[in-house]
Structure 1
Amino acid sequence: MTKKKELQVRAIKNGTVIDHIPAELLFKVINMLELDKCPTAVTIGSNYRSDMLGKKGIIKISEKFFADDEINKISLIAPNAKLNIIRDYQVIEKRVVEVPNKVEGIVKCMNPKCITNVEDVFTKFKVMSKSPITLKCHYCEKITDEKNIRIK
């Protein structure tokens, strides 16, 4: 007898699905993307069983397609997340988010004396390591590890 596959979350017609978010980071991703201000339907699932993560979160956003800087933000919080782009109920593109080599304008330097925290200066970081994520400030050279990343 074949086991019937059942959808746990309703399909969307057009939009983006962010899958494979570690369950403990789901609400951090939601807050960072400011999905509470999203004018279209947002479906959030937490603590789904995952062979890869143990427990995972999933977010479905109708009529939303992310720009590169938003994808970079996702990669800094959930570097193994997957994006599924949906058009007319079909997955037309699957993307694995990737931590970029440079991070500009989206992360706050953790050094309170850094010029970026004192004056209106665009932040720039070199990615020193992608796993675990480690960033080096272009200006003060302070190292920010994965646990201390603060999205602007």
Structure 2
Amino acid sequence: MEMKDNMKKKLKLKVSAIKDGTVIDHIPAKNLFKVISILGLDKIENQITFGTNLDSAKLGAKAIIKVSDKFFEDNEINKIALIAPHAKLNIIKDYEVAEKKIVEIPERIKGIAKCFNPKCITNHEVITTCFKVIKTDPIALKCRYCEKITAEDQIKML
């Protein structure tokens, strides 16, 4: 038993602290790369550390992202609510948590999700998608153009 506990301790992920930036925690492990894409983290030059399939009592397996020298606007953060509705943000300043934020699902989703209706005009012409959030648990989005409902399991990011 003691040997097993020692093995677990050795296997724990050790990630260095960041001086200033943002830590996004409680991301469902399967959605890590969607969050990276939505926030455009794949296109910035800041130092980014991420881990996935980490133990979580709440999610089973979670992911975490640490971004040095980057502070997100509320509208950027709320984009991830579609795919990580329980995500938590820690704003780090001088190695300390200066502020905690919880993502919130906005009333309208514009230009980040695709309408699931293959006949929708947004899938055939250059038109920015726009949805009204009509339900939050599970998430359901109503298209502004075709009025079809996109369920959470049908949401595809642009």
TM-score range, shorter chain: 0.7 to 0.9
Alignment of 1:1-150 (within 5 A): 8-150=14-156
For residue 15 of structure 1, report the CA deviation from its aligned partner.
0.8
Return the alpha-carbon distance in structure 2 between the equivalents of residues 118 and 67 of structure 1.
31
Return the alpha-carbon distance in structure 2 between the equivalents of residues 55 and 16 of structure 1.
21
- Residues 11-49 of structure 1 show CA distances to partners (whole Å, capped at 9, x for unaligned) of 111111000011122222223333232201100111222
Question: Bigger radius of gyration, 1 or 2?
Answer: 2
Contact 1:73–1:151, Cα closer than 8 Å, also in 2: no
| 2:81 partner amino acid | S
Runs (4 or more) in structure 1 with deviation over 6 Å come to none
TM-score after normalising by structure 2: 0.84
Taking a change above 3 Å as real, the CA distance of residues 108 and 68 of structure 1, as seen in their structure-2 partners, is: farther
Return the alpha-carbon distance in structure 2 between the equivalents of residues 120 and 98 of structure 1.
28
| 2:86 partner amino acid | N
Return the alpha-carbon distance in structure 2 between the equivalents of residues 7 and 98 of structure 1.
29
Return the alpha-carbon distance in structure 2 between the equivalents of residues 55 and 25 of structure 1.
11
For residue 7 of structure 1, report the CA deviation from its aligned partner.
7.7
SS in 2 for 1:25: helix
Bigger mean CA offset, 60-69 vs 92-101: 60-69
How many residue pairs match? The answer is 148
| 1:73 partner amino acid | K
What 5-or-longer segments of structure 1 have no aligned partner? 1-5
